């Protein structure tokens, strides 16, 4: 007889309850013996008895065999077993053992034995640190930068004999000198973005960065390593020395590959004697590869899986119970939250929100905070809650500082994300209160440091009542601030009581109070308008439509210089749209269509085509699955992409049809492949022992159309100079990252380019001239004119023109274009270091980028760009331009994360330009007439035309003016000076020409009467060469600026038109540019003449007016219509403002930075409020003369060189006369700007958007009903 079984308590847990129910089933079956059960179940009696012992959960098979032997229902008991197994898996355990995974916490130096998967990146980074004094590690949040530095790089450097110190900027005092420790000191600054997020003082940030660079450069053995989040990379460019130091020393932390992820999962477990199920490993590798920033999520999921392990195995069942990659953090956090009381939950919310720094145009970040600042609960509740958060590994404590375990918590826990979104503004206010209270305490609680006015009102609204959420110090600070305000109010009330005895005084006091209230309301309204304008300015690039709508709102809330400037910026800004591809992942391939209208996004899960005009999805196709990482770059609009094998030794690649994700063809190639522009051809690259082979196939027939072989050149024999080789190899690495070529070797591959019509193939071989083959005949075309290539082959800088008749080559000096048939060079664009270039489809324009800006040239006039757009912290690719639609698009974003399509408006870039540039142009003072002087093709005369700017109609053509010197030099030779000027009333025009130089006596001048439409020649002029001319006082005299000749200096000659004689000669010292004057300006009252050589003359006497200070060197000078201001523009593009007497400098236009070619024209508005300034690079800006600040963005002009500017009589239109481009009329009034913005932005803000973006001002409709969304 067997032994009696020990009694079980079913309340002892799910295993005991299951065993109890098994015993009950056996009893109901008549108490069948285990021996009889074993005969039926084919399991031993010991195994069946152990199944009901309650010590452990039996296997599913044993449990079902037990049930069957007792006559039970197997299906019902299978469900019971599954429920118990799931219940057991859901219960984490903490048995005191060391977990091989840190969860959300980072690895530290002591964890090096548990750090796997980054060996190659650690070696690469260590080599970079060895060779450079300053290195930068860049990666998105969740890419593992901190762990890489602390558990990977730091131990490697210490093993090599270096002394390593790892720090973070934090919120402490930044500007402490850093001393090297010994012969080889390495300072690692982790989370370098905290310099920008936790410190608002730019001077302190700059000093801290200077100290870091001083540490790195003062000792040859010192090394500095910075780690920064990718979305803060652009901030590093704000410090010039830092940008230069990291220019060639940046390492991008890329996502881990499958093998690296597998090491990171399996090896830490193996090191502690654990086993990870293969299915779990494969699942984690797959899920992390598709989850951006997934490393902390993976680590936490593995931690929770470890806590739910059974024995030595980490199972997929436990992983699912933990919540997996996407749910583990939220499940852990929610489990802790459920265990808290209501009061503790509120304490946890307040505590966690103090550890967050809300982003401003960037993602939210962590905020390391002193533990003393976290005492927000009652009694010991805060300490208890903090301890539980630390135990759950959601928060870390380090030397009295609390911090979120990882930024992944900000997005992976929905409840925390919701708290942040709900309290975003309140968090910012609380953090400002914290800083203000700390400052107040530091100053010995000085009453002068208390909050007042708007700051106090905002803090009271954010923290009403008992100030829940603030520390004792912060509450005391606000209470004292309120008390100080109330004390001030009581003093005012006391004064009012005394004054109330007199009725008149009481009335006066009431009026004053009402006025103060009105002022307060106005100030609050103005503050809301300024905030809206500031937000709009920060969103111009990233969210242009929202920026335009915010600018509209700011202008409606309050009429301020800032709001007016914001509205005009919205009307003139080139940015019109930004579309961010929602497809995420490192392996996503994106391409703009040839016409720039659609975006194709290829990913592992799906392939999507987007209409960029509407932002709508137009096609959804299957993804490439695991082949997404090995797919080649999309080259054409055809939905076909080459896919390379992961093992290049196979020597083949396949073509995938994106619409079905099916393989259509397979071709041989072992060094790379790319599609032709029409999608009907594919190019393959192969290597043999002696040659590089280029083959061209027909895609539809699988037929080889061309095979070319080139000698294989190795290493230093590749034909590249050492500098070019360095550039070349860096380009090869970039091409590999974009999956456009094969594995990196020391060879320099030839690069083939197929013409758009598929008829010609150009091959670029480094060190040789570019060669072209006819695809149909296989014949090589003669190209003796072709340039010799270097590393440009690797950059794929050989282009065909859209119609396939021309060939373009991009090198360090710019772009050259040849006609293939004749070999004639048809265009040349001079611009250094273009990284990418492309033609418009009509071949009228060329667009390119040098990394700093996007530039657009007209190919018929490629001297200067007609459009420029700065790239701030961005990399631009796939640039498309459509001049007829007036649109430019590109894919941009921080380097390595380009996923946003930006649309820029081009204002009529394709307008026809004149073949011959204007020699001179000038407007009448009131802007009612334009006179332009243009050479006639005969090469010896100038033609003058008069045009009404408001209509663009030519109203008169004046007699031609000879412009040829005694040696018959062609027109516009420097020896021939065109002369043109209106009188002050705009009734007369003086025109003519003068020979400059030793050949004198060739001055030809006439006076045109605009009312009589007749010309009168001027006689009796001086023989001296005339450099410029302007009317003198009262339009009855003329001022001739004469050039120096021989020993004689230049002079200003005042010539009386009635007497036909000189009435005064004003000598000018022989100094300045060219030994003579460059600019003069006559005061509107005609009594003062100012020159650029610090001289001023009283007219008509010619007496020099003394002054301690005068305007110096200038090229353009102009008085305001009222004569109270003088604008002075120089050759560097800077503009200064002087008073009407030119004796006192009022200031410089803020931000008028040097521009190539300098100032070419200026004009004041009729009221003198605005100053328009044009520079030789084609930029026209509007400035506020009172604030000296720009008004709006640069005006959307043609890009030609502006020669003259004028305002319309009402000041609402600016006229721009250019060298070649047509006369331009630009509206600058607010009504027109509002209409333009409503049209461009498709309406204003909705009430919901207004409440979210401008909560401090009531909603207003900003666009008419027809334009409002």
Task: Tell whether the model's pLDDT for residue 908 goes beyond 80.
Answer: no
- Please report the pLDDT score of residue 1269 as a whole number: 58
Q: Which residue has the higher pLDDT, 67 or 459?
A: 67
Phi/psi of residue 387, nearest 5 degrees? -60, -40
How buried is 1216 (Cβ within 10 angstroms: 0-12 exposed, 13-18 middle, 19+ buried)?
buried
- Please report the pLDDT score of residue 70 as a whole number: 92
Q: How many Å apart are CA 395 and CA 397, to the nearest integer?
A: 7
DSSP, res 295 = H
Q: Which two tokens stand for residue 532?
A: 């809206």
Q: How many Å apart are CA 933 and CA 941, to the nearest integer?
A: 10
Phi/psi of residue 1121, nearest 5 degrees? -55, -35
What digits encode the pLDDT tens for the residues 838-854? 999 999 999 999 998 99
In whole angstroms, what separates CA 930 from the centre of its chain? 41
What digits encode the pLDDT tens for the residues 1086-1117? 889 888 877 888 887 888 887 667 777 788 99
- Please report the pLDDT score of residue 513 as a whole number: 66
In whole angstroms, what separates CA 1147 from the centre of its chain? 32
Average pLDDT over residues 118-134: 89
Average pLDDT over residues 859-863: 87
- Please report the pLDDT score of residue 941 as a whole number: 85
- Please report the pLDDT score of residue 495 as a whole number: 74
Q: Which residue has the higher pLDDT, 425 or 1267?
A: 425
Strand runs labelled E in 6-51: none
DSSP H helices, 1045-1117, are none
Distances (CA, A) of 505 to 491, 509, 516, 519, 1069: 17, 6, 16, 20, 67
Q: Which two tokens stand for residue 459?
A: 């803090």
Which of 576, 575, 559, 578 lies closest to 567 in space, CA to CA?
A: 559
Average pLDDT over residues 1070-1076: 47
Which of 433, 336, 432, 427 lies closest to 388 in space, CA to CA?
A: 336
Average pLDDT over residues 1149-1157: 65
- Please report the pLDDT score of residue 175 as a whole number: 46
Contact indicator for 1260, 556 with CB cutoff of 8 Å: yes
Average pLDDT over residues 506-534: 79
Q: Which residue has the higher pLDDT, 471 or 603?
A: 603
Length of the chain: 1269
- What percent helix, strand, coil does the chain show, rounded to 5? 30, 25, 40
Average pLDDT over residues 678-696: 91
- Please report the pLDDT score of residue 1117 as a whole number: 93
Contact indicator for 945, 952 with CB cutoff of 8 Å: no
What digits encode the pLDDT tens for the residues 371-402? 777 764 445 677 788 878 877 778 877 667 78
Task: Tell whether the model's pLDDT for residue 1245 goes beyond 50.
Answer: yes
Task: Tell whether the model's pLDDT for residue 1148 goes beyond 60.
Answer: yes
DSSP, res 1071 = -
Task: Tell whether the model's pLDDT for residue 448 goes beyond 60.
Answer: yes
Q: How many Å apart are CA 1141 and CA 1105, to the nearest integer?
A: 10
Among 734-743, 1020-1029, 1035-1044, 1230-1239, which stretch is predicted with the lowest mean pLDDT? 734-743
Q: How many Å apart are CA 542 and CA 549, to the nearest integer?
A: 14
Q: Which two tokens stand for residue 32?
A: 């069948």
- pTM given for the model: 0.58
Phi/psi of residue 22, nearest 5 degrees? -65, -45
Angle formed at CA 1090 by CA 1086 and CA 1095, multiple of 5 degrees: 135
Number of other residues whose CB lies within 10 A of the CB of residue 825: 12
Which of 816, 800, 796, 811 lies closest to 731 in space, CA to CA?
A: 796
Number of other residues whose CB lies within 10 A of the CB of residue 767: 16
Question: How is the chain split into domains, by residue range?
Answer: 10-89, 118-255, 500-574+1237-1253
Q: How many Å apart are CA 1062 and CA 176, to the nearest integer?
A: 71
Angle formed at CA 331 by CA 315 and CA 347, multiple of 5 degrees: 145
Distances (CA, A) of 383 to 200, 288, 402, 409, 473: 30, 35, 12, 21, 17
Helix (H, G, I), strand (E, B) or coil at 188: strand
Q: How many Å apart are CA 1200 and CA 860, to the nearest integer?
A: 12
Q: Which residue has the higher pLDDT, 1208 or 513?
A: 1208
- Please report the pLDDT score of residue 806 as a whole number: 96
Strand partners of residue 653 = 667
Q: Which two tokens stand for residue 28?
A: 């109901």
- Please report the pLDDT score of residue 334 as a whole number: 81
Q: 118-255: which CATH architecture?
A: 3-Layer(aba) Sandwich (3.40)
Helix (H, G, I), strand (E, B) or coil at 959: coil
Q: Which two tokens stand for residue 474?
A: 């912060």
Q: How many Å apart are CA 1101 and CA 1083, to the nearest integer?
A: 15
- Please report the pLDDT score of residue 1074 as a whole number: 42
Contact indicator for 430, 354 with CB cutoff of 8 Å: yes
Task: Tell whether the model's pLDDT for residue 894 goes beyond 80.
Answer: yes
- For the chain, how far is it from start to end, CA to CA, in angstroms? 88
Task: Tell whether the model's pLDDT for residue 735 goes beyond 50.
Answer: no
DSSP, res 183 = S
Q: How many Å apart are CA 1191 and CA 825, to the nearest integer?
A: 42
- Find tokens 């195995």 and name the residue: 313
> How do strand 313-314 and strand 275-276 relate by DSSP bridges?
parallel
Distances (CA, A) of 481 to 445, 450, 469: 11, 5, 17
In whole angstroms, what separates CA 1125 from the centre of its chain? 39
DSSP, res 795 = T
| Region for residue 814 given its phi and psi (left: phi exceeds 0; alpha: psi -120 to 50; beta: otherwise) | left
Phi/psi of residue 388, nearest 5 degrees? -70, -35
Contact indicator for 416, 409 with CB cutoff of 8 Å: yes
DSSP, res 789 = P
What digits encode the pLDDT tens for the residues 1161-1174? 999 999 999 999 99
Q: How many Å apart are CA 1198 and CA 909, to the nearest integer?
A: 6
CA dihedral over 276, 282, 287, 289, signed as positive or negative: positive
Share of the chain above pLDDT 70, in %: 87
Contact indicator for 658, 639 with CB cutoff of 8 Å: yes
Q: How many Å apart are CA 455 and CA 1233, to the nearest integer?
A: 34
Contact indicator for 251, 135 with CB cutoff of 8 Å: yes
Which helix or strand (DSSP H or E) is residue 754 part of? Answer: strand 751-754
Q: How many Å apart are CA 560 and CA 568, to the nearest integer?
A: 12
Angle formed at CA 280 by CA 276 and CA 285, multiple of 5 degrees: 110
Strand order in the sheet with 672-675: 672-675, 681-687, 691-698, 704-711
CATH no., domain 10-89: 1.10.260.40
């Amino acid at each position: 007889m067997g032994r009696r079984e020990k009694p079980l308590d079913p309340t002892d847990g799910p295993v005991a309850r299951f065993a109890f129910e098994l015993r009950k089933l056996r009893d109901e079956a008549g108490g069948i013996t285990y021996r009889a059960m074993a005969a039926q179940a084919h399991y031993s009696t010991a195994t069946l008895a152990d199944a009901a012992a309650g010590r452990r959960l039996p296997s599913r098979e044993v449990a079902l065999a037990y049930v069957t032997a007792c006559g039970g229902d197997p299906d019902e008991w299978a469900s019971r077993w599954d429920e118990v197994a799931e219940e057991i898996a859901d219960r984490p355990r903490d048995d005191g053992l060391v977990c091989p995974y840190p969860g959300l916490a980072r690895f530290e130096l002591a964890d090096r034995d548990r750090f796997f998967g980054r060996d190659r990146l650690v070696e690469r980074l260590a080599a970079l640190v060895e060779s450079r004094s300053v290195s930068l590690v860049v990666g998105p949040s969740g890419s593992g930068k901190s762990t890489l530095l602390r558990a990977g790089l730091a131990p490697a450097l210490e093993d090599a004999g270096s002394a390593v110190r790892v720090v973070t900027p934090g919120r402490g005092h930044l500007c402490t000198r850093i001393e090297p420790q010994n012969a080889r000191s390495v300072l690692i600054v982790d989370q370098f973005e905290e310099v920008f997020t936790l410190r608002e003082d730019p001077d302190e940030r700059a000093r801290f960065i200077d100290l870091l660079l001083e540490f790195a450069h003062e000792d040859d053995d010192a090394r500095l390593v910075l780690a920064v989040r990718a979305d803060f990379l652009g901030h590093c460019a704000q410090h010039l020395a830092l940008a230069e130091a990291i220019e060639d020393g940046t390492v991008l932390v890329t996502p881990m590959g499958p093998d690296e992820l597998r090491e990171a999962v399996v090896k830490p477990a193996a090191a502690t004697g654990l086993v990870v199920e293969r299915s779990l490993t494969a699942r984690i590798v797959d899920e992390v590869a598709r989850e951006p920033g997934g490393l902390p999520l993976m680590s936490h999921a593995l931690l929770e899986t470890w806590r739910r392990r059974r024995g030595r195995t980490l199972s997929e069942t436990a992983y699912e119970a933990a919540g997996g990659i996407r749910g583990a953090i939220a499940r852990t956090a929610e489990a802790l939250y459920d265990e808290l009381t209501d009061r503790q939950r509120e304490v946890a919310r307040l505590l966690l929100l103090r550890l967050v720094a809300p982003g401003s145009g960037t993602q939210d970040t962590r905020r390391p905070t002193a533990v003393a600042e976290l005492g927000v609960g009652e009694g010991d509740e805060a300490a208890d809650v903090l301890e539980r958060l630390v135990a759950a590994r959601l928060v870390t404590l380090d030397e009295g500082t609390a911090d979120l375990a990882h930024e992944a918590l900000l997005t992976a826990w929905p409840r925390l994300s919701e708290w942040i979104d709900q309290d975003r503004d309140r968090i910012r206010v609380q953090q400002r209160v914290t800083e203000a209270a700390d400052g107040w305490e530091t100053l010995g609680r000085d009453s002068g440091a208390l909050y007042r006015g708007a700051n106090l009102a905002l803090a009271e609204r954010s923290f009403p009542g008992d100030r829940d959420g603030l520390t004792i110090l912060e509450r005391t600070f606000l209470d004292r601030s309120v008390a100080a305000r109330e004390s001030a109010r009581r003093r005012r009330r006391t004064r009012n009581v005394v004054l109330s005895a007199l009725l008149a005084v009481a009335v006066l006091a009431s009026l004053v109070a009402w006025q103060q209230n009105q002022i307060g309301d106005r100030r609050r309204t103005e503050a809301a308008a300024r905030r809206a304008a500031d937000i709009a300015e920060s969103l111009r690039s990233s969210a242009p439509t929202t920026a335009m709508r915010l600018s509209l709102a700011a202008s409606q809330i309050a009429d301020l210089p800032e709001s007016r400037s914001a509205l005009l910026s919205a009307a003139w800004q080139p940015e019109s749209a930004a579309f961010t591809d929602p497809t995420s992942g490192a392996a996503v391939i994106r391409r703009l269509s040839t016409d720039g209208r659609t975006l194709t996004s290829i990913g592992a899960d799906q392939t999507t085509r987007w209409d960029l005009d509407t932002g709508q999805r137009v096609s959804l196709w299957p993804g490439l699955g695991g082949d997404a990482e090995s797919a080649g770059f999309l080259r054409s609009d055809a939905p076909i992409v080459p896919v390379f094998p992961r093992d290049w030794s196979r020597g083949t690649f396949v073509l995938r049809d994106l619409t079905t994700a099916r393989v259509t063809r397979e071709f041989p190639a072992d060094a790379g492949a790319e599609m032709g522009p029409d999608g009907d051809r594919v190019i393959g690259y192969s290597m043999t022992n002696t040659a590089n082979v280029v083959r061209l196939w027909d895609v539809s027939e699988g037929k080889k159309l061309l095979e070319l072989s080139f000698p294989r050149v190795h290493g230093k024999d590749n034909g590249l100079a050492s500098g070019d080789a360095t550039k070349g190899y860096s380009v090869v690495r970039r091409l590999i990252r974009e999956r456009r070529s094969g594995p990196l070797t020391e060879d320099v591959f030839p690069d083939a380019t197929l013409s758009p019509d598929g008829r010609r193939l150009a091959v670029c071989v480094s060190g040789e001239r570019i060669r072209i083959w006819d695809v149909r005949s296989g014949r090589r075309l003669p190209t003796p004119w072709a340039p010799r290539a270097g590393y440009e082959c690797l950059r794929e800088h050989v282009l065909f023109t859209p119609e396939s008749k021309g060939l373009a080559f991009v090198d360090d000096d710019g772009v050259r274009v040849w006609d293939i048939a004749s070999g004639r060079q048809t265009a040349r664009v001079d611009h250094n270091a273009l990284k990418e270039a492309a033609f418009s489809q009509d071949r009228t324009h060329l667009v390119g980028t040098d990394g700093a800006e996007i530039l657009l040239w007209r190919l018929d006039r490629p001297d200067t760009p007609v459009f420029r757009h700065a790239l701030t912290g961005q990399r631009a690719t796939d640039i498309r331009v459509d001049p007829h639609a007036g649109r430019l698009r590109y894919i941009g974003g921080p380097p390595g994360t380009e996923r946003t399509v930006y649309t820029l408006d081009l204002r009529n870039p394709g307008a026809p330009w004149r073949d011959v540039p204007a020699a001179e142009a000038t407007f009448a003072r009131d802007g009612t007439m334009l006179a332009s002087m243009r050479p006639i093709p005969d090469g010896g005369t100038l033609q003058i035309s008069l045009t009404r700017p408001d209509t663009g109609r030519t109203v008169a053509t004046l007699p031609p003016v000879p412009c040829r010197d005694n040696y018959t030099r062609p027109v516009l030779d420097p020896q021939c000076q065109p002369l043109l000027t209106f009188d002050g009333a705009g009734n007369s025009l003086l025109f003519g020409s003068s020979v400059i130089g030793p050949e004198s006596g060739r001055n030809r001048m006439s006076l045109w009467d605009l009312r009589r439409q007749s010309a009168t020649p001027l006689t009796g002029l001086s023989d001296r060469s005339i450099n410029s001319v302007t009317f003198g006082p009262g339009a009855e005299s003329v001022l001739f600026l004469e050039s120096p000749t021989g020993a004689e200096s230049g002079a200003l000659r005042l010539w009386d038109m009635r007497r036909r004689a000189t009435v005064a000669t004003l000598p000018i010292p022989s100094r300045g540019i060219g030994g003579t004057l460059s600019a003069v300006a006559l005061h509107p009252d005609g009594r003062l003449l100012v020159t650029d050589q610090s001289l001023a003359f009283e007219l008509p006497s010619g007496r020099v007016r003394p002054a301690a200070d005068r305007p110096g060197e200038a090229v353009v000078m102009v008085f305001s219509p009222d004569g109270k201001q003088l604008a002075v523009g120089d050759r560097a593009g800077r503009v200064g403002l002087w008073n009407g007497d030119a004796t006192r400098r009022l200031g410089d236009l803020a931000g008028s930075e040097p521009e190539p070619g300098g100032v070419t024209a200026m004009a004041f508005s009729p009221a003198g409020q605005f100053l328009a300034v044009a520079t030789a690079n084609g930029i026209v800006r509007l400035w506020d003369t009172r604030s000296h600040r720009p008004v709006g963005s640069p005006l959307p002009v043609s890009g030609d060189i502006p020669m003259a500017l004028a305002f319309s009589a009402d000041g609402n239109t600016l006229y721009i006369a250019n060298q070649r481009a047509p006369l331009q009329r630009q509206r600058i009034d607010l009504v027109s700007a509002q209409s333009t913005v409503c049209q461009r932005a498709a309406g204003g803000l909705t009430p919901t958007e207004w409440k979210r973006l401008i909560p401090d001002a009531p909603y207003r409709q900003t666009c008419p009903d027809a334009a409002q969304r």
